[in-house]
Amino acid sequence: MKRRLTLADIADTAGVSVMTVSRVINDKPGVSDEVRQTILALVESMGYRPNQIARSLVTEQTTSVGLIVPDNTNPFFAQIARGVEDAAYALQYSVFLVNTVENPQREFDALDSLWQKDVDGLIWCSARVSHEVLEAQISRFPAVVLLNRELTEPPCNTITINVNDRHGARQAVAHFLAQGRRRIAYLNGPEHSVSAHRRLEGYRDAITEAGVPFDEGLVDCCLPDTDSGYDAALALLDRCPNVDAILAFNDLVAIGAMQACQALGRSVPQNVAVIGFDDIPLATIIKPQLTTLHVDLRHIGESAMRALLDKMEEAACPSAILIEPELVLRDSA
């Protein structure tokens, strides 16, 4: 690895000052066309690229952002990360990826590290952090996009992006009801999850508005994975054998529920209809293909990155974005 070329190297061989080269590199006026061409040719042939570190030190801009997710292995966050990175590439930004793995210490360390590296902005998916910590951390960064958190009074450097969970759950219940189903269960996600609360609200409202009495026995919580969904569905069907529809917190839970039904000899969707949430790739791989509330996660990621840039540039932009899930009918309901 040879020594990096600097502005001075180009300036020397071109016989001009560093400032002239700098102006050319940054496409700024004040350089004659002739000199400009000479320098551009030199930059090309010598393979010069600006040192972003040095540049950052003076401009206070790093052209990099932080993305904090619980686990990039979870297809939900993988899709979001992909969207963020796609948009970042288009905008000439780089993305630091950080997993918190539900570990507060690690999350804290990550924030510190990103701050020390002077990221221009932060895209933060954190369900667990308290409001106080959230606001304190937000104030350290130039701009922040919060995913799946609501803020009563959002700081002016912050944008929240949320899925319309209530409406999504209502759509699912409405679909079940239209099919004539009345014993509609809901396998919810973790209690502390904001999404879980909102989806439960949507479910309850839709049920009661339809005149179907709300039955607590039809609602249960589980971890948002297939195994937990399987176990929870097994217990549910044992407790309430006449269930004819299951709304699941997410697709993984839904798939577990479908497999539980099959294990108990209930066919899906004839005996029990199942609807998931998110529409991860797995939803179309599994048989029967899962009817689910599609959420365009890549698009959310892209929006997050673009909104972040807007905030960084202090452009006029909304402080909250609501994403509408869309019910896609496949085979399970």
Partner DNA sequence: TTGTACGCGTTATCAT
Partner DNA sequence: ATGATAACGCGTACAA
Name the residue nearer to DNA (CB basis): 24 or 218: 24
N- to C-terminal Cα distance for the chain? 60
Q: What is the largest CA-CA distance in the chain?
A: 86
At its nearest, how many Å lie between DNA and the CB of residue 111?
17
CA distances from 241 to 147, 237, 261 (A): 37, 5, 11
214 interacts with its own copies by CB under 8 A:
no
Residues in the chain: 333
Binding partner of residue 208 among DNA, its own copies, none, CB cut-off 5 to 8 Å per kind: none
Q: Is the dihedral of CA 105, 106, 107, 113 positive or negative?
A: positive
Q: 25: Cβ–Cβ under 8 A, 6 or more apart, which residues? A: 7, 43, 50
Interface with its own copies in residues 139-158 (CB under 8 A)? 139-142, 157
98 interacts with its own copies by CB under 8 A:
yes
Distance CA 165, CA 174 (A): 14
Run of H or E including 175: helix 165-178
Judged by DSSP in three states, 206 sits in helix
Name the residue nearer to its own copies (CB basis): 65 or 333: 65
208 interacts with its own copies by CB under 8 A:
no
With CB under 8 A as the contact rule, which of the stretches 6-14, 72-80, 208-216, 320-328 interacts with its own copies?
72-80
121 interacts with its own copies by CB under 8 A:
no
Token pair 């793995």 is found at 101
The two tokens of residue 168 are 């999504």
Q: Among 91, 285, 320, 322, which residue sits at the site for its own copies (rule: CB under 8 A)?
A: 285
97 interacts with its own copies by CB under 8 A:
yes
Name the residue nearer to its own copies (CB basis): 73 or 267: 73
Question: Which DSSP state fits 271?
Answer: T
Strands 121-125 and 273-278: unpaired
Q: Which residues pair with 321 in a beta bridge?
A: 161
Q: Among 162, 195, 259, 303, which residue sits at the site for its own copies (rule: CB under 8 A)?
A: 259
HSE (CB half, 13 Å, CA atoms) of 49?
4
Distance CA 114, CA 124 (A): 12
111 interacts with its own copies by CB under 8 A:
no
Q: Which residues bind DNA (CB under 7 A)?
A: 4, 6-8, 15-20, 22-23, 25-26, 29-32, 34-36, 50-51, 54-55, 57-59
Binding partner of residue 322 among its own copies, DNA, none, CB cut-off 5 to 8 Å per kind: none
295 interacts with its own copies by CB under 8 A:
no
With CB under 8 A as the contact rule, which of the stretches 28-36, 112-120, 167-175, 233-241 interacts with its own copies?
112-120
At its nearest, how many Å lie between DNA and the CB of residue 146?
27
Name the residue nearer to DNA (CB basis): 25 or 327: 25
Name the residue nearer to its own copies (CB basis): 82 or 197: 82
Question: Burial letters for 184-199: b for 16+ Cβ neighbours within 10 Å, e otherwise?
Answer: bbbbbbeeebebbebb
Contact residues for its own copies (CB under 8 A)? 1, 49-54, 56-57, 62, 64, 67, 71-73, 75, 78-79, 81-82, 85-86, 89, 92, 94-99, 101, 106, 109-110, 112-118, 139-142, 157, 226, 255, 259, 262, 281-282, 285-287
